[in-house]
Amino acid sequence: MPSRAHAGAFMATFKQLIASAAAELKQADIFCGHGYESAHDEAVALVLAAAELPIDVDQSVLSEEVSADIQVLTDTLLKQRIEERRPTAYIIGKAWLGPLEFICDDRALVPRSPLMEVIAADYQPWLSGSPSHLVDLCCGGGSLGILSAKNRPELSVTLVDIDSPALSLARENVALHEVPKVRLIKGDLLSSLAPSSVDVILANPPYVDAEDMHSLPREFMHEPSLALAAGDDGLDLVHRLLIQASFCLSKNGFLFLEVGNSWQALERAYPHFSFDWLELEWGGHGVCAIGKQELQYLRSCAECA
């Protein structure tokens, strides 16, 4: 990739640099699936990162000239994105979920869960009353739990993950957002939680089946496979999770479970159960809501199988 900042190069404006970067990304046929919807959006993020400008900078900056140093750094970032296929969030070290910015690197998945829509809806219409304890299960960098804590400051939030590097990233994000009622637990799913102690579980476990793992775009190969791969049908952890949730949820509690493309496998596994699949206005699919009593029924089905 030739540098635009060689001797005698013209001084581009931010608008021109972004347009040029977007064209390169589009020509390279990058995959936009880690928090950005288009090559243009990724170009904006990369150029602003190179210039050390915030994502919400005033648009008047577009007409300003870009220094040669910023052009060189932009080329370096583009090279990582195009040649290495690193997700932009890992390159710039930050990602956004809803209104919040998070520290982001390859210790955990790039935040992108459609479960954020459940948080924005304040768990309605499913939950009756105000929750007092929420668990962000398989929390990765902790974005869903922290978003929940910011949405309801009175809520006690527990971030759970089995992976130490992911929890270290989550700890950094907890400190960044100064959410005092958030604790972190290293644990195997819900095994460390007391019976009937949780009102809401947001669960984004590994759910990519073997076929999809083999066909994922290169960008996903930079993410920890522990947080993606879940066996032949994508449900390696889900059956155990459903049983554990039936014990640790409170009487009127709810599990909000994301299984993505493995939603059909989940329906085949429980043919006599009608899953409540959420219609997500902000994009995404394969998210269901399951109450305590329904989970107890699923547990009985599993025990009789």
pLDDT in tens, 160-172: 999 999 999 999 9
pLDDT at residue 302 greater than cutoff 70: no
The amino acid occupying position 114 is P
> Can you give the pLDDT at residue 129?
87
Q: Are 295 and 245 a contacting pair, CB within 8 Å?
A: yes
pLDDT, average across residues 281-288:
93
* Confidence category of residue 298, pLDDT binned at 50, 70, 90: confident
**Same domain membership, residue 229 and residue 150:** yes
pTM of the entire predicted model: 0.93
> Is residue 3 within 8 Å of residue 72, measured between CB atoms?
yes
> What is the DSSP secondary-structure string of 162-199?
S-HHHHHHHHHHHHHHT-TTEEEEE-STTTTSPTT-EE
Residue 28: CATH number of its domain: 1.10.8
Shared-domain flag, residues 195 and 241: yes
Residue 70: what residue type? I
Distances from the Cα of 77 to the Cα of 9, 57, 91, 269, angstroms:
19, 20, 7, 44
Q: Where do we find the tokens 């400008």?
A: 53
Please tell me whether residues 295 and 155 are part of one structural domain.
yes
13-67 tens-digit pLDDT: 999 999 999 999 999 999 999 999 999 999 999 999 999 999 999 999 999 999 9
The answer to whether the beta carbons of residues 20 and 47 sit under 8 Å apart is: no
The verdict on 276 and 152 lying in the same domain is yes
Q: For residues 168 and 171, what is the distance between their CA atoms, to the nearest angstrom?
A: 5
Q: How many domains does the chain have?
A: 2
Classify residue 4: in a domain, yes or no.
no
Which among 92, 119, 151 is the end of a domain?
92
88-135: per-residue pLDDT in tens? 999 999 999 999 999 999 999 999 999 999 999 999 999 988 999 999
What are the pLDDT digits (tens) for 64-88?
999 999 999 999 999 999 999 999 9
- Would you state the structure tokens that stand for residue 299, as one six-digit string? 């547990």
Higher per-residue pLDDT: 297 or 185: 185
The CA distance from 175 to 180, in Å, is 9
Q: Which has more confidence, 278 or 1?
A: 278
Q: Is residue 262 part of a domain?
A: yes
User: Domain range holding 291?
Assistant: 108-304
The one-letter amino acid at 217 = P
By the 8 A CB rule, do 82 and 25 touch? yes
Tell me, yes or no, whether 253 and 157 share the same domain. yes
- Shared domain check, 150 and 28: no
Q: Are 98 and 119 in contact (CB under 8 A)?
A: yes
The whole-chain average pLDDT of the chain stands at: 94
User: Is residue 258 in some structural domain?
Assistant: yes
Task: Answer whether residue 212 shows pLDDT above 60.
Answer: yes
285: domain CATH number?
Answer: 3.40.50.150
DSSP string, 55-108: TT--GGGGGSBPPHHHHHHHHHHHHIIIII---HHHHHTEEEETTEEEE--TTS
**CA torsion sign, 99 to 225 to 134 to 288?**
positive
Residue 9 pLDDT: 52
- Asked if residue 135 and residue 208 are part of one domain, the reply reads yes
Q: What is the pLDDT of residue 103?
A: 98
Same domain for 85 and 119, yes or no, is no
The answer to the question of residue 97 being in a domain is no
Q: Do the domain assignments include residue 102?
A: no
User: Residue 187 above 70 pLDDT?
Assistant: yes
pLDDT at 5 over 60: no
For the cut 70, the answer to whether the pLDDT of residue 268 exceeds it is yes
